[in-house]
Structure 1
Amino acid sequence: MTSPAGLPADAFWVSTLRRWNTVCWVLFAAMAVGITALSEGGARYAALALLGSVALAFAALHHFPDNPVVRPHGYLALLVLALGGLAYLRTSYAALFMVTRPHYWMFGRTPRISLTFLGLATAGTLLGGWVRQGWSGEFFGETVVGTLIVVAVGVLIGLWARAVVEQSSERAVLIDELRRAQAELSQAHQRQGAADERERMAREIHDTLAQGFASIVVLAEAARAGLAGDPGRSARQLRSIESTARENLAEARALVGSGGRPDAVASVAATLRRVLERFAEDTGLTVTAELDDPDCDQQTRIALLRCTQESLANVRKHARAATVGVVLARRPYGVELEVTDDGAGFSVGEPSAGFGLDGMRRRLAELGGRLTVTSSVGDGTRVLAVIPAEGAA
């Protein structure tokens, strides 16, 4: 929080009090000069003694604010006595009242205490004047009226100043709370961003490197099993292992070089066709494909490719299918990808232990799309991915 002068609130009030303390010392000195010039005899020395005691108490309170011996309320009580004494001596009591009026609010701590001491100062001043002057016209015309005017002005200014300070304090508290809330929100955004980035990286690694390694494992097992009976097939599988390993290496370099962002997919139909040919060669399954080439943005092309790769990986690992069908079509409402197989199927209601289906759902959801999986035990599986028209040109 800042003050009107552009300083922080605490520094502003500290500098204001320091300036007022300087003004007080100047006025104390002026009062001493006035008492010396206008008073005579013993009244002069008594008035100077009272003023000096007030000045010493104020100096002690200013220089030793944390000392338990120096009490703000003790200073205010001494100020009440000094005002009463100066009123009795008829020497500069009004000037001292004007100079020290803010002290009741500065050192009173609460409005009730401030008003109490201000009332005591008023009563002491009137009592001193009454003892000196009696019920005279001069007492009512000068002492009573002058004192009440000074007190009324002091009360109004003090209440206004305290209200300003309290509002400033409340504002400072609210601003501190707002800053803490903003810091916590920023940290929460950072944590959420890091979590989202970790999830995205996990999805990319699962859809590329992990699938490639899974293919390598399956092909290696098949090649080892066929070494004795079908060396030619094993040789083809070894070549597929080499190709898959090279592709995985390229994928890893691309992920590292692009900060985890997937490479561009130029033509989704041509890319899917190569993926399907490679899948048929590696697995020996019959693959049928009907592939349109919809004009869609880069993120949509990547999502369609990853969904196809994940669906084929699930067929390879779980389906025990003989035939796989893939349909990519442009619809009025968007782009549609359908992958079906005639394998063992599964119960869709059972929770999935893997990352694949959930990863596909999240990827499609980022584009406003949806994933529908239809399957039952013994009846094969149908995976339908739909991306709305906003993802297409």
Structure 2
Amino acid sequence: MGLETALWRAVAVYRFVSLLYAGVMIFKNFDKYEHPLGGWAVLGVMTVWTGYATYAYSDERRRGWPLLAVDLTVATGCLLATAWVEDSERLRAGEPTLPVSWVAAAVLAWAVVGGKRLGMTAALVLGSAGIGVHVLVGTENITSGNTLNGIVLLFMAGLVVGHVVKLARDAEARLARAVELESATRERERLARQIHDSVLQVLAMVQKRGGELGGEAAELGRLAGQQEAALRALIGTGLGAPPPVRTRSAAAAGEPVDLRPVLAGHSSTTVTVSTPATPVLLSEHAAGELGSAVAAALDNVRRHGGEGTRAWVFLEDGPGPGEVTVSVRDDGPGMEPGRLAQAAADGRLGVAQSIQGRVRDLGGTVSIVSAPGEGTEIEMTVPSSS
């Protein structure tokens, strides 16, 4: 039984118990009413609505504004009918209204649907109706006796129940998230075993045989070795596992994602990726753009660095608070001064657009340091809130 079902069953039980109490009070006092038949009529309305409301609220598709509005209207009407049915002197002396605590069921329903704000809104409407009953019969001191106590209890019910419902829903969402994470971890471990028993072994064999055969086979073996190293890194850290499906509560727009898995995918025999032990959170858009900028930088290393050029990707805190820095360094031949400016002038905008343009659009900065024979370092810094 889920949380929603349990909550609505509790409200239904309260409706029936409070209806029974109201029925006992009406049976006890009907001979003192100015209009006794009116008391039985109000009890009949309460009984019919209790049965229908229990049925209607049992289906999530019907728990919308029309049902909530009718529920509150029926409760308000039964409350106001007290001014016509009950003896005015008895009301002024502090006698309770006809539905007594039954009207609080509408407050509970509003609180379960919309939290404490809607719960207190319903309490305000019913509290105003309760005051209206005493205004109609000419009660001099409305704030004394059962009237004020009943209104305070209604507000407390709306506030407390609404807040508890919100806490319970948050706890349920966190539990669902934990279950999903555990399921994803188990699936990752299962896939890791299968990959280790099949793909990794084949790649290792291709790398070994390619090195033995030489020629084009050696290049094939080298590529197989890179893919083997990348797969081992992803399996070992768990960063390659697909994210679990988000729950309805967690699927908020713009939810931050961890940048580490994005960068870890670039790891190979020639590329070393170093990231912190704790998550580095960015918006999904920013993480994707920064990952694409790193991919462009590594592509330049492969194209211009030559055989055996190594690269290192570092993820760390930026120089200022609330900043993230990603550095791509290589031990390639480096660049002559002014080479990037000349490339941009010639219409070759790989660095200017793929790297600098992306980071600039995120509100960040790019620093490129290079010299002939000393490799190249590209440092990209973006706000962590981007």
TM-score range relative to shorter protein: 0.3 to 0.5
Normalising by the residue count of structure 2, what TM-score does the alignment of the two structures yield? 0.45
Larger radius of gyration: 1
